[in-house]
Amino acid sequence: MTGHIRRRGERSWELKYDVGTDASGKRKTRYATFKGTKREAAIELAKLVAAAAAGEQVDPTRMTLSEFLERWERDWVQANVSPKTAERYGDLLRLHVRPHIGATRIQKLRAVHLTELYGKLSAALAARTIGHVHRVLHQALSHAVNWDLLSTNPSAKVSPPRVEQEEVEILTATEIRAVLSKAQGRTIHRIASLALATGMRRGEILALRWQDVDLDQSRITVARSLEQTAKGLRFKEPKTRHGRRTITLPASAVSDLRAHWKALQELRLALGAGKSPPESLVFSDLDGGPRRPDGISQSWRKIAASAKVEATFHSLRHTHASHLIAANVDLLTISRRLGHASPTITLAIYGHLMPQTDEKAALAIEAAMTRTD
């Protein structure tokens, strides 16, 4: 089977390709439009020709939403998002979209179908989860428009259920002491203490290497994160440039890490393994490999339950942020310390914790208006 590319515009191409012959032996030809570079168009044409040769070619006018989503996950998602995100997208579409509207032809899909879908899902799912479904569908259907399978994106006309703002989990000083007391002598104690001292995420702590730690300067560099998917563990780079950051450590965290380093070296010496290399993990399992994130969360839940404290491991990050806010640390510094892409994200999560200074604002304006110099 053969194909041909013809330019239609600056970044638009017409793809012409054979899909076999009809009953009389006459060659059947199909056309598709592609937006991108010529090289990308050639790759897309090769995929279409290969699909036709394998008998997998689907007429765009008859393509169902499920068929399109399968192609979208294969051709775009797998190449453009992390495995963990791809896994999450796949679960949302498999569990909440395909069973309800997957058989609908994509060119027949309308806003009313999505409105009906969200109504059905609301009987069993939280509004936040339905919001995730909506965002994945919106992204997928945006690509359908770009690939000329749809003229407009029907999800742009639909709003998911409104999500009520949830209070973040923040541990009290008493709860912190109770949990850390129960964790004393276990690895989870030092991991939890570092999370509380730095606001680092669980995956960031588990990916930390000794080469990322400068105890003489009391600093840690967050350079990567550990991600857990159904296919296993992988290290990944931060999503944004703000995710890669340097965090100043409080004195107690420096002392704790020094003690941890000393204990590790004594253990390695006893085993005849020699000094830890710079690239070794700060918190590893017995064979030096990464610890599973879900194992850390499980250990935390057991310790917290034994201390009669109801809070997730992620609450340590929230608690860290709340203490910075209470100490009147400026929003930009807090945002950078947490690795948020923008202070707007920090404000959206912790805005309700910010001190109310409206009275101060009124006094400042009054002073400015009545100044006589």
> Same domain, yes or no, for 153 and 241?
no
Predicted pLDDT at 168: 83
Domain boundary among 279, 298, 320: 320
Predicted pLDDT at 365: 73
In the chain, % of residues over pLDDT 70:
93
Q: Is position 208 within any domain? A: yes
Predicted pLDDT at 331: 92
Check if the beta carbon of residue 117 is closer than 8 Å to that of residue 147.
no
Q: What is the mean pLDDT of residues 311-331?
A: 93
Q: Is position 267 within any domain? A: yes
For 207-219, what is each residue's pLDDT tens digit? 999 999 999 999 9
Residues, the chain: 373
Choice among 266-270, 341-345, 352-356 with the minimum mean pLDDT: 352-356
User: Does residue 1 have a pLDDT over 60?
Assistant: no
User: Does residue 21 have a pLDDT over 80?
Assistant: no
Q: Is position 337 within any domain? A: no
Q: Is position 300 within any domain? A: yes
Domain boundary among 301, 320, 339: 320
| Element of type H or E holding 245 | strand 245-248
Closest of 55, 56, 53, 15 to residue 34, by C-alpha: 15
Check if the beta carbon of residue 331 is closer than 8 Å to that of residue 347.
yes
Find the CATH number of the domain harbouring 108. Answer: 1.10.150.130
Cα–Cα distances in angstroms (integers) from residue 232 to residues 83, 84, 264, in the given order: 10, 10, 26
| First-to-final CA distance of the chain | 85
Q: Is position 226 within any domain? A: yes
> Same domain, yes or no, for 194 and 315?
yes
User: Does residue 38 have a pLDDT over 60?
Assistant: yes
User: Does residue 68 have a pLDDT over 70?
Assistant: yes
> Same domain, yes or no, for 110 and 221?
no
> Same domain, yes or no, for 315 and 180?
yes
Q: Is position 343 within any domain? A: no
Predicted pLDDT at 227: 93
> Same domain, yes or no, for 141 and 263?
no
Check if the beta carbon of residue 323 is closer than 8 Å to that of residue 308.
no
Q: How far apart are CA 256 and CA 192, in angstroms?
A: 11
Q: How far apart are CA 65 and CA 62, in angstroms?
A: 10
Check if the beta carbon of residue 15 is closer than 8 Å to that of residue 33.
yes
> Same domain, yes or no, for 179 and 316?
yes
> Same domain, yes or no, for 29 and 78?
no
Most confident of 47-61, 183-197, 227-241: 183-197
Closest of 112, 156, 161 to residue 137, by C-alpha: 156
Number of domains in the chain: 3
Work out the widest C-alpha separation in the chain, in whole angstroms: 96
Q: What is the mean pLDDT of residues 140-167?
A: 86
At residue 335, what are phi and psi to the nearest 5 degrees? -60, -45
> Mean pLDDT across the chain, nearest whole number?
88
> Same domain, yes or no, for 186 and 150?
no
Check if the beta carbon of residue 198 is closer than 8 Å to that of residue 248.
no
User: Does residue 184 have a pLDDT over 90?
Assistant: yes
44 CB contacts (<8 Å, ≥6 apart)? 15, 32, 34, 36
Q: How far apart are CA 56 and CA 47, in angstroms?
A: 10
Structure tokens given for 352: 């309700």
> Same domain, yes or no, for 267 and 141?
no
Predicted pLDDT at 271: 86
Containing structural domain, residue 24: 3-45
Crossing angle for the helix pair 343-350 and 331-338, nearest 10 degrees? 100
pTM attached to this predicted model = 0.72
The larger pLDDT score, comparing residue 240 to residue 331, is at 331
> Same domain, yes or no, for 95 and 123?
yes
Q: Is position 311 within any domain? A: yes
Structure tokens given for 98: 């395909």
> Same domain, yes or no, for 188 and 298?
yes
Q: Is position 60 within any domain? A: no
Predicted pLDDT at 57: 55
Q: What is the mean pLDDT of residues 341-359?
A: 81
